[in-house]
A and B are shown apart, each in its own frame.
Chain A
Amino acid sequence: MIFKSGDPQILDGIRRGDRQVLSELYREVLPGIKRLAVAAGLGPDDARDVFQDAVVVVFEKAEQPDFMLSSSFSTYFYGICRNLVGNRLKKKANRNVTIADDMKYREDDNSDMQTLLEAAERHRLFHRAFQQLGDDCRRLLELSFENTPPESIMATLGIPSNDYFRRRKYLCKEKLVQLVQSDPAFQELAELE
């Protein structure tokens, strides 16, 4: 069981994107997340999304230099999941939902948790849209988003001219924007903000 391996090992595995750690974590926690989701009137797909978003939140928190777990990893993780379930309820019901106090994850007053929760959902939305692009567009935009100089991108991808590169980049980005805007999750996120 992954929780027996120790909290630092799990955090380290998430930081590194270790597939085995993520697989074991998935098997361990998904039944509990499904129970949370079903109890809130959501479905198994929501549970899987909550799992992914929660891992991303942990990843972002673990990147912060002053991050320290103030509880066990499982308590921390399930607390994040409860908050994510609450967020999804708000979107699906399109109304304000008050999460019961015992359901909320309690952290310090200056916590950035809510910001990270919303950001995690955006990351998954953009990632999903990005994966739907063709290989060439994905590679071009990947290099571009990583601030690779245009000359390097052109050399790497064998693009012959600057005008052609600019045109390709615009078309790929336009396609990405369309994919994002046509995703139902985009509208739900927009309504919350």
Chain B
Amino acid sequence: MKEKIKLKFDFVSSATLDDKPKDNRINFILNKVKDGTILVTDGVLKPEEEIDLIKETMRRVDDGFPGIEVASLKKPTKGMMNVMERMVDSKERMQSLIAGLTGRPVERTSMRTGLTLIGPAKFIKRVKKNPNSFSVLTEI
């Protein structure tokens, strides 16, 4: 008889992730995903954090954890909202640069509005993305 494998989804508010400094946020996500959890949140990581997530994932790849699958949908911003978003990005980038130069802990950065799913690649076989939706194919 085939062994039953349970798939666990954690729906985490972006506020919970926003409260964590950048490194802790990536640790939080990867600890969950490496345990086999699929994490869904109502926010989108910034591109710089996404690439840090990939980098940290690569450090943790082993025989039982081949990596992650990520899919995200960012709420499009236009006009003033777009300008505001860019201003916040510039401010946070400057804070991060100063933190790096002074050796102080990295400042918190806010997630963008949207939806993100991050899960273990050993269960998620494929993510099919469209501009406004994505579908996830799992195999357990």
Partners in one complex: no
